[in-house]
């Protein structure tokens, strides 16, 4: 998942056997619960503000 649509489109062309999603975190509205077995995440936590976790 990445907010950069151009990057996602390039990755889909280069790696068609993998899944790529255009979107932002949070929220994760584009993904159903328990949809993936494995998720690799880089440079995400530092971009999530504390107030986004408070309900």
Is this prediction's pTM over 0.85? no
pLDDT digits (tens, 9 = 90+) for 36-49: 788 777 777 776 76
Query: What is the DSSP code string of the chain?
Result: -BS-HHHHHHHHHH-TTS---B--SS--TTS-TT--S-----S-GGGS-GGGG--
* pLDDT tens-digit series, residues 1-55: 888 999 999 999 999 999 888 887 777 777 788 887 887 777 777 767 666 555 5
């Amino acid at each position: 998942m990445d907010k950069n649509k151009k990057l996602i489109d390039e990755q889909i062309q280069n790696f068609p056997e993998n899944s790529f999603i255009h979107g932002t975190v949070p929220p994760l509205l584009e993904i159903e619960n328990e949809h993936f077995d494995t998720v690799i995440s880089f440079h995400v936590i530092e971009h999530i503000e504390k107030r986004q976790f408070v309900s």
